[in-house]
Amino acid sequence: MRKNLKNTTYTFSVLLGVVSLVFFLFTVLPGDPARMMLDQREDSETLEAVRKKHGFNLPIYQQYLWFLNDLSPIGWHSSDPEHVSAHQNRPVLVVFYKASSGHFLLKWPHLRESFQQQGQRVNSIIGRVLPNTIILALAAMTLALILGITLGVISSIRPGSILDHTITLVSTLGMSVPSFLSAIAIAYLFGFLWSSYTGLPMNGTLVEWDDWGESKRIAWENLILPAFTLGIRPLAVITQLTRSSMLEVWQQDYMRTARAKGLTLRQQALRHALPNALNPVITSASGWLASMLAGAVFVEYIFGWNGLGKLIVEALDTLDLPVVMGCVLIIATFFVFINFAVDIIHAKLDPRIKEKQ
Amino acid sequence: MSELVSIHEVSIGVDSPIVNDLNLTIEPGERLGLVGESGSGKTLSALSLAGLLPGNVRLLKGVISIHIPGNMIQIPGATEKQLLQLRRQSLGFVFQEPMSALNPVMRCGDQLMENLKLGGKRSEKLRQSEALSWLNKVRLPNPERVMRAYPHELSGGQRQRLMIAMALCNKPKLLIADEPTTALDVKVRDVVLDLMDELCRASGTALLLISHDLQMVAQRCQTIAVMQNGICCEYGRAEDLVNNPKHPYTKALWACRPNPEHRLIPLPTVKEIIAGGKMDYEQFSESAWTLKGEALRRHPALLKARDVHFSYGSTQILRGVDFDLYPGESLGILGESGCGKSTLSRIICGLESIQKGTMSYRDGESYLPLEQQDRMWRAQHIQMIFQDAMAALNPNHRVGRILGETRKHFFPGETSADRKAVLMAMMEKMDLPTDGLDRFPHSFSGGQRQRICIARALLAEPRILICDESVAALDVSVQAQILNLLHKIRTEGGVSFIFISHDPKTVHYFCHRVLQMEKGKFIDHG
C-alpha cells in the first residue's frame, strides 16, 4: 500500500517536472505564436484577438497555471468561448458541476492547437500517428525479444562453438550498423531490388487508401521492413545480453543440481537457466521499447511510416511548439509507465525482489 | 553382481590428471566416506560417477561401472540416454551450498515434483501427494507452506532437507552427499546427517559422503578413503583409520585439528608431520591455560562494553551485551549464525553505531567512550579480519597497493622507502613470498589470502584484533597454519583478540575465555 502511494507520487512528480520543464523551455524560445497562427498577416486587431483567446497576453505564471489546468484530466473551464480555458474546445468526458461562469469537468488532457496546421487540435494530430508508432515499436520489440532470446540461449549452450561465434559476430555487426544505413539498405534490397520475390513495398504507412482512393485499408505488409529494420539493433543487444547472462547462470550451483537431476540440456536451459537470466534482458528491452515509442525518426522517414518521430521532426522544423510539447509529454509518459511495468515484471520473474521491496 | 559401483584405475583431469588412478568400490547399502582437503579431487571423483564433470574436465583413463537393476552402465561408453536414466533413477545428489543449489525463482514444491516426474511419476496428483509425503519424511515443518515457498524463504537447514528429499524421492541406489553440512550451523549439522543416515538405511541406499572433516566421516561411515592431491592415500575400514592410521597424511589430519582437551601450541601442521620433523609443541593443561588467562585479567580492562543494544528496524539483534576485554587476552565469542556475534564485532570496530549502552576504551588511566573517537582513531586501534579472504581483498589491486594503502592511511609521515621496508618485513613475517607485493590476490591460495588480510590488519598496529570466523572457510591444515600465526602474533604481545566462531573446538582451543552468545545475549561466562 505504502509502496503504491510512493510509486504514484513518484510518477506524478516526474510528469509534473517534465510538463514544467517543457513549458518554461518553450516560453523562452523566440517567436510570436500569435503571428505564426495567423500566417504572417499583419492585422493588429486580429493578432490581439488571437493573443487574448490563447492567453498569450497573460503573465507567464498565469499562462503556466492555465496550461496545467488544460493538461489535468480534472479542471475548471470557462463557459465564455473567448476565454483561455473555454470548455467548448476541450475534449470533455463528464461534466461534474455546471455554473454560469464555467464548468468543472473530467476530460482528456488537452494539448491545445497546432500553430501551423490551421488550428488543428494537437490531441487529434498525435492521435493519428500514435497507433502507427506503437504498432511499429511493439512489432520491432517482439521480433527482437523472440529472436534475440532464442539466439542468445542457443549460443550460450556451447560457448566457443562455431554457431556461437557466428551468432556473436552477426549480432556485433547488427549492433554497429547505424539505423539510417540499415534502413536505406533494407529498403533498397528488399523493397526494390528483390521486391518481385519478397512482394514488399519500399515504403508506405499502416493505413493506406486503396488504389481507387475509395476506402482505407490496413496494409500489414508495410510493417514488415520497418519493424525488421528497427528491431535489428535491439535484437543484437538482446542476443548478446541473453548470452552473457545465460553464461553466468550456467555456472551457478543450481544448474549443477538441474544436471544432476537428469534433465535434458533443453530442459535445463528453458526451465532452469532462462528464467534466472531474463532480468537484465528485460531491463535493457524496456529501455529500447521506450525509446522506440519516442519515434524512430530515420526509419519512419525512409519507409514513409507516419509515426511520432516523423511528426516531431516536422513540428520542430516549423517551430510548431504545441505539437512538440505534446509529443514530449507523451514520450515522458511512456517512459514512466514502462518503468512501472518493468518493476512489476522483475518482481514476477524473481520472487526475491518482492521480498526486498 | 556384488558391488554397486566400481571405480577402476580412474584418472580425471583436463590435460594432466587432477585425480590419479583411483580405485574404489561401493557395495549396495554401504556407507563410504571420501575425505580430503579442497583441491584433493574428491568432488570431481563423485561427479564423474554421473558423467557430470564440468567444462573440459574429462575422464582420462579407467572405467567406472555402475550396476543398476537390469543393466550395467560403464563410463566411458555410456550413451547420453543411459546417463540421463542413471541420474534420474539411480543416483541422488546433495550438494554443499544449500543457498545456491536450489533454483531461486522456482517454488520448492515444483523443484521436488520435477524430480518425481523425471523418476517416472506421470500423474500430477500422484506427484503432489508424494512430494508432500517426502516433505514430511524429511521433517520439514508445515509441508504445505514449503510446497509453495521459494528457496530464499527457507533456512539453510530446511533447504538442505529439501535437497535430501529431492535426492532420495526416486529411491536411488546411491546417494552422493558432497559436504552436505559444511555450510550449516553446528547444531543443525548432526540433525541433517542423522536424517540422511536414517532415510538411506530405510531404503537400503548406499551413501557416498564427501567431507573434509575426518572425524565426522569416521562416525558415519563404514569405509573411508582419504585423498590427498588427487591420490587416494589410504582406503580401509573406518575403525582401522581411526585407531591405526597408516599413512602420514591421515595421521596429520587427525593431529592438526585444534583440540582444547589436548592443547598443543603451536599446532602441528600437515607439512611438518609428513616431513616427520618434530617441532617443539608446548602442551598446556586445562589448569595451566586457565591460570594464564587469569593472570592476564589482573590488569585493568582494555575495553569495557556495558548493556549494548542494537536493532535493525524492529528486529532486536543485541539485547544487553556486557563484557570486558583485557590487554593481551583472547576472548572467544561462540554462537550460531544469526545470534548477533557479527553485529557485535561490527559495532566494536565502528562499522555500526551503538544504539544503547556504552563501550569504553582505556587510555592511560581513564576510559574514553568509543563512539566519541573519530573513525581514524578507531580503525587504527581496532582492526578486523573477515571470514572470506577473497571477498575482502580488492581483486583489481596488487597486494602491495592493498597493504601500502593501510600503512599510508595510518602513518602518512612515513617515506615510501620506509613503507616498502615495513611491507617487506610484514610479508616475511606472514611467510608470504616477497615478490607477492606485485601480484594480485587471485594468484594466492586461500591460506595465503587470509595471511594477506592479517598482514593488512597488523600494519595499522592495532591494539585489538577481531577475527570474525577467520578460519572457518579454511581447510584443516591451513587452519592450523593460520591459528599458529595468530598465536605467534599473540605471543609478540600488544594485541588483544576477539575471536568469533561457531566452532566450539577452535574457540576453546584458541581463547583464554569463551562467551556463549544466544539471541543477542551472552548466556554463560566461562
Q: Does B149 touch chain A (CB under 8 A)?
A: no
Query: Once rounded to an integer, what is the mean pLDDT over residues B25-41?
Result: 86
Residue A15 pLDDT more than 90? no
Query: Which chain B positions have a beta carbon within 8 Å of A271's beta carbon?
Result: 106, 114
The phi, psi pair for B420, rounded to 5°, reads -55, -45
pLDDT of B38: 78
Chain A residue closest to B107 (CA)?
Answer: A351
Query: What is the rounded average pLDDT of the residues B91-119?
Result: 88
Residues of B in contact with A252 (CB under 8 A): 100
Q: If you measure CA to CA, which chain A residue comes closest to B97? A: A253
Task: Return left, alpha or beta for B276; rule: phi > 0 is left, psi -120 to 50 is alpha, else beta.
Answer: left
B280 by Cβ neighbours in 10 Å (0-12 / 13-18 / 19+) ranks as exposed
In terms of DSSP H, where are the helices of B364-465?
375-381, 389-392, 399-410, 416-429, 446-459
- Encode B498-524 in three state secondary structure: EEEECCHHHHHHHCCEEEEEECCEEEE
Distance CA B455, CA B373 (A): 24
- Best residue in A253, A264, A268 for a mutation probing chain B (most B CBs within 10 Å): A253
Q: Does pLDDT of A235 surpass 90?
A: yes
Does residue B42 surpass a pLDDT of 70?
yes
CA-wise closest residue to B42 among B63, B27, B20, B61: B20
CA distance B118 to chain A (A): 7
pLDDT range class, residue B18, cuts 50, 70, 90: confident
The helix, strand and coil proportions of chain A, stated in percent and rounded to the nearest 5, come to: 70, 10, 25
Residue B526's pLDDT band (boundaries 50, 70, 90)?
Answer: very low
DSSP B320-353: EEEEEE-TT-EEEEE--TTSSHHHHHHHHTTSS-
Higher-pLDDT residue of B372, B219: B219
- DSSP classification of residue A86: B
What is the nearest CA distance from A276 to chain B, expressed in angstroms? Answer: 7
Measure the CA–CA gap between B439 and B129, rounded to whole angstroms. 57
Least confident interval from B78-87, B262-271, B302-311: B262-271
For chain B, say whether A351 makes contact (Cβ under 8 Å): yes
Whole-number Cα distances in Å, A310 to A188, A209, B40: 20, 20, 66
Q: Convert the pLDDT of each residue in B373-432 to its tens digit.
A: 888 888 888 999 988 888 889 989 999 999 999 899 899 888 889 999 999 999 988 888
Q: Is the pLDDT of residue B497 over 90?
A: yes
pLDDT in tens, B441-461: 888 888 888 889 999 999 988
Please count the helices (runs of H) and the strands (runs of E) in chain A. 16, 5
Best B56, B85, B103, B121 residue to mutate vs chain A (most A CBs within 10 Å): B103
- pLDDT more than 70, % of chain B: 98
pLDDT digits 0-9 by tens, A108-140: 888 887 777 777 888 888 888 888 899 999 999
Q: Which has the higher per-residue pLDDT, A272 or A3?
A: A272
pLDDT at A357: 54
pLDDT beyond 70 at A210 = no
What pLDDT is stored for residue A166 in this prediction? 92
Contact indicator for B443, B224 with CB cutoff of 8 Å: no
pLDDT band at B4; cut points 50, 70, 90: confident
What is the average pLDDT value for chain A, to the nearest integer? 83
What ipTM did this prediction achieve? 0.77
Q: Answer yes or no: are the C-beta atoms of B206 and B200 closer than 8 Å.
A: yes
Q: How are beta strands B5-13 and A216-218 bridged, if at all?
A: unpaired
Checking if the pLDDT of A52 tops 80, the result is no
Longest dimension (CA), chain B: 82
**Which candidate, B102, B290, B171, B222, places its Cα nearest to that of A351?**
B102
Is A261's Cβ below 8 Å from some Cβ in B?
A: yes
Residue type, B192: V
Q: Where are the domains of chain A?
A: 32-107, 123-356
Asked if A260's CB is within 8 angstroms of B105's CB, the reply is no
pLDDT (0 to 100) of residue A245: 94
Read off the pTM.
Answer: 0.78
Among residues B56, B135, B49, the alpha carbon closest in space to that of B92 is found at: B49
Question: What pLDDT, on the 0 to 100 scale, is given for residue A248?
Answer: 92
Q: Do A254 and B50 touch (CB under 8 A)?
A: no
Average pLDDT, whole number, for chain B?
86
The interface residues of chain A toward chain B in range 266-285, judged by CB-CB distance below 8 A, are 271-272, 275-276
Question: Is residue A244 predicted with pLDDT exceeding 90?
Answer: yes
Q: Backbone phi, then psi, for B122, in 5-degree steps?
A: -85, -35
d(CA B237, CA B223): 4
B105: nearest CA partner in chain A: A350
- Whether chain A has a CB inside 8 Å of the CB on B50: the answer is yes
B195 Rama class: left (phi>0) / alpha (psi -120 to 50) / beta? alpha
Interstrand relation of B174-178 and B206-211 (parallel, antiparallel or unpaired): parallel
Binary contact (A254, B102; C-beta < 8 A): yes
Min CA distance, B97 vs chain A (Å)? Answer: 8
The residue of B83, B97, B100, B105 whose CB has the most chain A CBs within 10 angstroms, and thus the best one to mutate to test that interface, is B105
Q: Which residues of A touch B52 (CB under 8 A)?
A: 256, 259-260
Average pLDDT estimate for B146-172: 88
Contacts of B8 (CB under 8 A, 6+ apart): B23, B62, B63, B64, B65
- Give the closest of A262, A349, A355 to B118, CB-based: A262
Q: Which residues of A fall within a CB distance of 8 Å from B54?
A: 256
Shortest distance between the Cα of A231 and any Cα of chain B, in A, equals 29
Q: Is the pLDDT of residue B1 over 60?
A: no
Nearest Cα residue in chain A from B112: A261
- CA dist A7 → A18, A289, A328, A344 (Å): 17, 21, 21, 12
Instruction: Tell me how close the Cα of A9 comes to any Cα of chain B, in angstroms.
Output: 24
In the CATH scheme, what is the code of domain A123-356?
Answer: 1.10.3720.10
Cα(B428)–Cα(B97) distance, integer angstroms: 36
Q: Could you write out the DSSP letters of every residue in B256-298?
A: TS--GGGEEESPPPHHHHHHTPPP-PEEEPHHHHHHHHHHHTT
